[in-house]
Amino acid sequence: MAEVCVFVVDDDFLIAQSIEDALADGGFVFVTAHSGTEALTLLEEGGSECRALVTDVNLGGSITGWDVARAARTKFPTLPVIYVTADSRHEWSANGVPESILISKPFVAAQIVSAVAELLNKHPTEPLA
């Protein structure tokens, strides 16, 4: 079975590490960006290798997780998107992409893995590129 890559975007290194550890424990591999700008660059350079996106909403700059997810979905329309946020849940219905999942911080590792698996199972054979 091929490894499934998940694109992780979080400006907080400790939270990114927590997400990475959860994904690794769940059998996933990952590519991580620590800013919205870096995330958009990585999406353009090689985003097709990743099968899901886990992004923080507030990335500490002018580009938000909402922006990253919209850009990713423009390029890859069926890309599973999981948002993590401490304070932006109320903005999800207006800014989140369709068929996404929002997880509130603090979260437990199993929530991340479960959300990725749930959304991947909805489109198990659809390639991103």
Give the per-residue pLDDT at 3.
84
Distance between CA atoms of 91 and 128, rounded to whole angstroms? 27
Cα–Cα–Cα angle for 84, 95, 122, rounded to 5 degrees: 65
Distance between CA atoms of 43 and 89, rounded to whole angstroms? 24
Bond preceding residue 106 cis, omega within 30 of 0: yes
**Residue position matching structure tokens 């959300």:** 115
Residue 125, Cβ density class (10 Å: 0-12 exposed, 13-18 middle, ≥19 buried) = exposed
- Secondary structure of residue 52 in the 3-state scheme: strand
- Secondary structure of residue 55 in the 3-state scheme: strand
Tens of pLDDT along the chain (129 residues) come to 568 999 999 999 999 999 999 999 999 999 999 999 999 999 888 667 889 999 999 999 899 999 999 999 999 899 999 999 999 999 999 999 999 999 999 999 899 999 999 999 987 654 444
Give the per-residue pLDDT at 47.
65
Homologous superfamily (CATH) of 5-122 is Response regulator (3.40.50.2300)
* Token code pair at residue 23: 């994904």
Residue 2, sorted as left (phi over 0), alpha (psi -120 to 50) or beta, turns out to be beta
**Residue position matching structure tokens 């620590």:** 34
Give the per-residue pLDDT at 128.
45
Give the per-residue pLDDT at 127.
45
Domain positions in the chain? 5-122
Give the per-residue pLDDT at 129.
42
